[in-house]
């Protein structure tokens, strides 16, 4: 079974691996049900979805009708104004068939204009805090992509006491000294304040080659070799306090779950060898690759 750990100061012991329910977004209900059962059997008790993840919230609804109490349930809104964020939250509650979310998250809050609107008067942060006061949500988090996000999260934590942050985290990305410095500063703040830290993009190999015509179940090209995936997963889970969100590519789910149950800390040399042998490249570079 996958180990559990305190999810920040929420009081919930979450599985170190969180089910990234974006994987359900384009599935049939039958396949979604089987996928949910797979993660449940592995001991995953924390599900992460979003209003923008296709049919994901709808696919979770039948299972939640019988098993709501078994999981920490999180969703996200990409809206920045308070009115729109509140409407998004209410739609998510309806689609999921629940009266309350454990956590609502501001989705990919990285751009300056978005950040100012969300944190400003009448913005999403204010509206979601009100929803929390009304009991529609228990906790509020903030997520993001790119090499600027750790720095932006640190700014967000000055403005509001978020319960969780979410950042991209893998060996290649952490080789970027600027991102590493920003991330280490953020992680220390989160440790001191007992803020949960979720990670994404653990098994990213790089961006899809230009003109690639094969199947794509995630916006980035994932690793394929099970041993390399295992090392990538173990790299994240070897860091105290980090939670790992599974990929939107459900074909990798069984490998990720198995690696998460049997992880051992990989050597830095092994990770460098993977980078070289498999052609792993950064998803983000602070410039032209920053936006997705």
Strands (E), the chain: 4-6, 13-15, 17-20, 46-48, 72-77, 101-106, 137-143, 164-168, 196-200, 204-207, 220-222, 242-245
* pLDDT at 131 > cutoff 60: yes
* pLDDT at 292 > cutoff 70: no
Which structural domain range is residue 28 located in? 4-278
Q: Distance between CA atoms of 39 and 30, rounded to whole angstroms?
A: 15
Q: Distance between CA atoms of 109 and 82, rounded to whole angstroms?
A: 14
| Confidence class for position 9, pLDDT limits 50, 70, 90 | very high
pLDDT tens digits, one per residue of 184-225: 999 999 999 999 999 999 999 999 888 787 787 888 899 999
In a domain, 283, yes or no: no
Query: What are 189's two structure tokens?
Result: 């703040």
| Confidence class for position 281, pLDDT limits 50, 70, 90 | very high
Q: Distance between CA atoms of 263 and 282, rounded to whole angstroms?
A: 23
Q: Distance between CA atoms of 95 and 92, rounded to whole angstroms?
A: 5
In a domain, 81, yes or no: yes
Q: Distance between CA atoms of 184 and 252, rounded to whole angstroms?
A: 28
Q: Which helix (H) or strand (E) holds 174?
A: helix 171-174
In a domain, 243, yes or no: yes
In a domain, 290, yes or no: no
In a domain, 286, yes or no: no
**Per annotation, catalytic residue among 53, 169, 179, 220:** 53
Range list of H helices, 10-111: 29-41, 56-67, 82-96
Query: What are 14's two structure tokens?
Result: 């979450």
In a domain, 292, yes or no: no
In a domain, 261, yes or no: yes
Residue 18 three-state SS: strand
Query: What are 267's two structure tokens?
Result: 């050597």
Q: Which helix (H) or strand (E) holds 228?
A: helix 226-237
pLDDT tens digits, one per residue of 52-100: 999 999 999 999 999 999 999 999 999 999 999 999 999 999 999 999 9
* Structural domain total, the chain: 1
Q: What is the CATH number of the domain that holds 139?
A: 3.20.20.100
For 188, counting Cβ atoms within 10 Å of its Cβ (0-12 exposed, 13-18 middle, 19+ buried), the class is exposed
Q: Round the average pLDDT of the chain to a whole number and report it.
A: 95
Q: Distance between CA atoms of 123 and 187, rounded to whole angstroms?
A: 26
Q: Distance between CA atoms of 24 and 30, rounded to whole angstroms?
A: 11
Determine if the pTM surpasses 0.75. Answer: yes
What's the full length of the chain, in residues?
A: 292
Per-residue buried b or exposed e for 112-131, using 16+ beta carbons within 10 Å of the residue's own CB: eebbebbbeeebbbbbbeeb
In DSSP notation, 185-226 reads HHHHHHHHHT-EEEEE-TTEEEEPPTT--S--SSSEEEP--H
Residue 212: active-site member: no
In a domain, 291, yes or no: no
């Amino acid at each position: 079974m996958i180990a559990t750990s305190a999810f920040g100061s929420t009081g919930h012991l979450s599985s170190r691996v969180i089910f990234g329910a974006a994987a359900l977004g384009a599935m049939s209900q039958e396949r979604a049900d089987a996928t949910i059962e797979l993660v449940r059997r592995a001991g995953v008790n924390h599900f992460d979805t979003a209003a923008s993840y296709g049919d994901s919230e709808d696919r979770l609804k039948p299972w939640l009708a019988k098993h709501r109490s078994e999981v920490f349930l999180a969703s996200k809104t990409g809206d920045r104004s308070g009115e729109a964020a509140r409407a998004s939250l209410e739609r998510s509650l309806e689609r999921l068939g629940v009266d309350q979310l454990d956590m609502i998250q501001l989705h990919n809050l990285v751009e300056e204009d978005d950040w100012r609107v969300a944190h400003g008067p009448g913005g999403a942060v204010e509206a979601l805090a009100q929803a929390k006061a009304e009991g529609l949500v228990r906790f509020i988090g903030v997520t993001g992509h790119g090499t600027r996000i750790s720095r932006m999260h640190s700014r967000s934590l000055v403005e509001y006491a978020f319960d969780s942050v979410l950042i991209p985290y893998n060996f290649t990305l952490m080789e970027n000294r600027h991102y590493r410095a920003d991330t280490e500063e953020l992680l220390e703040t989160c440790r001191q304040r007992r803020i949960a830290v979720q990670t994404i993009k653990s098994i990213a190999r790089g961006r899809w080659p230009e003109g690639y015509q094969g199947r794509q179940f995630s916006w980035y090209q994932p690793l394929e070799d099970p041993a390399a995936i295992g090392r990538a997963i173990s790299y994240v889970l070897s860091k105290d306090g980090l939670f790992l969100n599974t990929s939107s590519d459900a074909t990798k789910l069984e490998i990720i779950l198995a690696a998460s149950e049997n992880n051992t800390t990989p050597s830095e040399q092994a990770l460098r060898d993977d980078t070289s042998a498999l052609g792993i490249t950064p998803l983000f570079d602070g410039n032209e690759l920053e936006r997705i």
